[in-house]
């Protein structure tokens, strides 16, 4: 397992580089792998001093997939006019009203969830059958 480095342990890379050490000599001197020394030297070259800080390895976020406000308003209005309709019926209504982008069922249901007038509806639990009507082997 790789050992964790901190800003203080990365600082000697700069001092050794200024002294004219090669990458392999720096790695031997610090007891690190050649790839680790190369990575931090490259980061310093590209980003300067902030490159020695711990950087996030999280991938960059994709563009927001949020439903446009105009579509959200149409979804809420349709839900007010037709309270029995769920996510599967509303895309047809949006298509009838000629919207260019029509979200799927799940994003449509997410649109009305934050609104206090449309709380999540729980499915009814089935009533347990009496023993006489229960199937047997």
Read off the pLDDT of residues 87-116 as tens digits, 9 standing for 90 and up: 788 888 999 999 888 888 888 888 877 777
Q: What is the pLDDT of residue 131?
A: 65
Q: What is the pLDDT of residue 119?
A: 66
What percentage of the chain exceeds 70 in pLDDT?
83
Please give the angle made by the CA atoms of 69, 79 and 111, to the nearest 5 degrees.
Answer: 40
Q: Which residue has the higher pLDDT, 88 or 129?
A: 88
Please give the angle made by the CA atoms of 126, 129 and 130, to the nearest 5 degrees.
Answer: 150
> Taking residues 4-16, what's their average pLDDT?
83
d(CA 110, CA 67): 10
């Amino acid at each position: 397992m790789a050992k964790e480095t901190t800003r203080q342990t990365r600082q000697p890379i700069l001092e050794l580089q200024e002294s004219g050490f090669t990458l392999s000599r720096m790695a031997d001197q610090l007891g690190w792998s050649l790839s680790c020394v190369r990575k931090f030297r490259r980061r310093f070259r590209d980003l300067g001093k902030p490159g020695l800080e711990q950087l996030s390895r999280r991938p960059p976020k994709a563009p927001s997939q949020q439903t446009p406000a105009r579509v959200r308003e149409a979804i809420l209005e349709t839900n007010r006019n037709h309270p029995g309709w769920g996510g599967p019926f509303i895309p047809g209504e949006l298509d009838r009203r000629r919207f260019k982008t029509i979200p799927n069922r799940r994003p449509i249901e997410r649109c009305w969830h934050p609104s206090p007038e449309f709380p999540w509806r729980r499915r009814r639990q089935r009533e347990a059958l009496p023993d006489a009507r229960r199937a047997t082997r």
